[in-house]
């Protein structure tokens, strides 16, 4: 196939699965052919498009806000998650998400409640400004590289490859939609209107300068697990035919791809490269079982990618 784009992908089952699927759905002579308007691809973000260990990058952004609050209010220093921020306990924050993927949301609830206190009353414009500043200046705590350099190059190549064959690409993540929007264009080439994610409540405040959209101290919805297909459908109005994820929370989205009448490609990124990134399966056990049982395509970082980071 011309215009491969997948130059960082090694020859193997995963690359062949991508090539074969795209060839079938773009060839009018095949029974799997799909018109361009039906070529929809959705991808999780944390752990699928960029690194999520020792904690998701957005949690580092939030942690810094918690740290400021803990420095201003000593009473917060013994309460989670401010305690984790104040003591730089990345493990607690990362484990909170791993526990969520195994069905325990006790720590996640603490994070969501604290997030509401940290950003409630802030305008969406100020929030986006802080996200840009964070991504411009912050670095990964263990790999010592800019967060902008923690994007998986093979996945960006995959986005371009799909788009070159008429696919519309979307992010569908459990992460905060408004955190990802400022990053999606520069990092992935995905415009903000194609970012689907968790959302906090919003309200409009009128003023002499055109008004402002402000955050409420409340969660609108958490876009993970069975919520992902709901949000995908509500935003796109179409069932995707290609989905990529890496964790248990992505299983419903992967299963939703294609449906009963259309072809589908389901990609599961496996973090098995301790030398170039991280090696772990915690929080992905159910997804790996489903991949084995239902023939989903597992993408091994160690075996399928020549290069991890761009």
pLDDT digits (tens, 9 = 90+) for 154-178: 999 999 999 999 999 999 999 999 9
The band of 1, judged by pLDDT with boundaries at 50, 70 and 90, is very low
7 within domain boundaries: no
Residues 30-41: what's their mean pLDDT?
97
Q: Which of 68, 84, 119 is the last residue of a domain?
A: 119
The answer on 294 and 203 residing in a single domain is yes
The band of 298, judged by pLDDT with boundaries at 50, 70 and 90, is very high
The answer on 271 and 186 residing in a single domain is yes
The answer on 258 and 202 residing in a single domain is yes
> The domain spanning residue 224 has which CATH number?
3.40.50.1000
Q: What is the per-residue pLDDT for 63?
A: 87
The answer on 232 and 179 residing in a single domain is yes
The answer on 176 and 103 residing in a single domain is no
Instruction: Give the CA distances from residue 106 to residues 86, 121, 218, in Å, rounded to whole numbers and listed in that order.
Output: 20, 25, 17
158 within domain boundaries: yes
Q: Is-contact 306 9, C-beta < 8 A? A: yes
Q: Is-contact 266 297, C-beta < 8 A? A: yes
**3, pLDDT greater than 80:** no
Cβ neighbours of residue 261 under 8 Å, at least 6 residues apart?
Answer: none
Instruction: Give the CA distances from residue 167 to residues 46, 74, 240, 241, 288, in Å, rounded to whole numbers and listed in that order.
Output: 21, 51, 10, 10, 26
Tokens of 156: 């960006």
Cα(247)–Cα(102) distance, rounded to whole angstroms?
10
197 within domain boundaries: yes
The band of 264, judged by pLDDT with boundaries at 50, 70 and 90, is very high
The answer on 291 and 203 residing in a single domain is yes
> pLDDT tens for residues 89-142?
878 877 887 888 788 888 888 888 888 888 888 999 999 999 999 999 999 989
Tokens of 120: 């409630």
Tokens of 174: 């459990």
4 within domain boundaries: no
The answer on 172 and 201 residing in a single domain is yes
The answer on 62 and 32 residing in a single domain is no
Q: What is the per-residue pLDDT for 9?
A: 98
124 within domain boundaries: no
The answer on 71 and 194 residing in a single domain is no
Q: What is the per-residue pLDDT for 92?
A: 83
Phi and psi for 81 in degrees, rounded to 5?
A: -95, 0
131 within domain boundaries: no
The percentage of residues in the chain with a pLDDT greater than 70, rounded to a whole number, is 99
The answer on 30 and 63 residing in a single domain is no
The percentage of residues in the chain with a pLDDT greater than 90, rounded to a whole number, is 76
Q: For residue 95, what are the domain limits?
A: 57-119
β-strand pairing of 195-205 with 212-221: antiparallel
> pLDDT tens for residues 266-295?
999 999 999 999 999 999 999 999 999 999
The answer on 84 and 192 residing in a single domain is no
- Total tally of structural domains belonging to the chain: 2
pTM exceeds 0.85, yes or no = yes
């Amino acid at each position: 196939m011309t215009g491969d784009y997948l130059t960082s992908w090694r020859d193997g089952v995963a690359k062949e699965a991508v090539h074969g699927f795209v060839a079938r759905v773009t060839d009018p002579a095949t029974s799997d052919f799909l018109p361009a308007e039906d070529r929809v691809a959705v991808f999780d973000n944390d752990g699928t498009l960029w690194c999520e260990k020792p904690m998701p990058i957005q949690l580092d952004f939030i942690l810094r806000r918690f740290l400021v609050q803990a420095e201003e209010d000593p009473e917060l220093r013994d309460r989670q998650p401010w305690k984790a921020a104040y003591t730089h306990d990345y493990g607690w924050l990362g484990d909170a998400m791993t526990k969520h993927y195994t069905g325990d949301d006790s720590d996640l609830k603490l994070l969501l409640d604290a997030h509401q206190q940290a950003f409630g009353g802030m305008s969406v414009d100020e929030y986006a400004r802080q996200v840009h500043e964070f991504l411009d200046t912050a670095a990964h705590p263990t790999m010592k590289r800019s967060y902008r350099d923690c994007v998986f190059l093979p996945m960006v190549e995959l986005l371009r490859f799909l788009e070159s064959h008429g696919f519309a690409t979307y992010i569908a993540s459990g992460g905060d939609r408004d955190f990802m929007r400022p990053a999606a264009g520069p990092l992935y080439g995905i415009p903000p209107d194609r970012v689907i994610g968790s959302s906090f409540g919003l309200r409009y405040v009128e003023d002499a300068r055109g008004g402002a959209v402000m955050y409420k101290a409340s969660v609108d919805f958490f876009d993970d697990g069975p919520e992902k297909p709901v949000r995908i459908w509500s935003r796109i109005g179409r069932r995707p035919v290609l989905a990529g994820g890496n964790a248990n929370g992505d299983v419903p989205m992967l299963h939703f791809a294609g449906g009963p009448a259309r072809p589908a490609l389901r990609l599961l990124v496996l973090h098995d490269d301790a030398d170039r990134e991280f090696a772990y399966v915690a929080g992905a056990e159910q997804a790996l079982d489903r991949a084995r049982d239902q023939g989903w395509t597992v993408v091994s970082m160690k075996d399928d990618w020549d290069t991890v980071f761009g």
